[in-house]
Amino acid sequence: MTQKIIFFDIDGTLLNDQKELPNSTEQSIQRLKKDGHIVAIATGRAPFIFKDLREQLGISSYVSLNGQYVVLNGKVVYRNPLNLPALNELVAFSEERNNPILYMSHADWRASGKRNAFVEDIIGSLKVPYKVTFESSPYDAYENFQAVLFCDAEEEELYKERFNQFNFIRWHEHSVDVLPTGGSKAEGIERLIKAADLKQENAYAFGDGLNDMEMLKYIPNSVAMGNALEPVKNVAKFVTKTVDEDGIEYGLKELGLLS
- 34 near 55, Cβ under 8 Å? no
Collapsing DSSP to helix, strand or coil, 141 comes out as: helix
Residue 229 C-alpha from the chain's centroid: 16
> Cα–Cα distance between 211 and 197 in angstroms, integer?
25
Please tell me which residue in 9, 11, 212, 246 is annotated as part of the active site.
9
Residue 141: HSE in the Cβ half-sphere, 13 Å Cα cutoff: 8
Q: Dihedral through CA 70, CA 218, CA 256, CA 227, nearest 10?
A: 90
Exposed, middle or buried by CB within 10 Å (0-12, 13-18, 19+), for 133? middle
Distance CA 23, CA 32 (A): 14
| 208 has catalytic annotation | no
Alpha helix positions (H), 35-125? 51-57, 84-96, 117-124
> What are the CA-CA distances from residue 13 to residues 7, 112, 184 (Å)?
11, 32, 18
Q: Which residues are catalytic?
A: 9
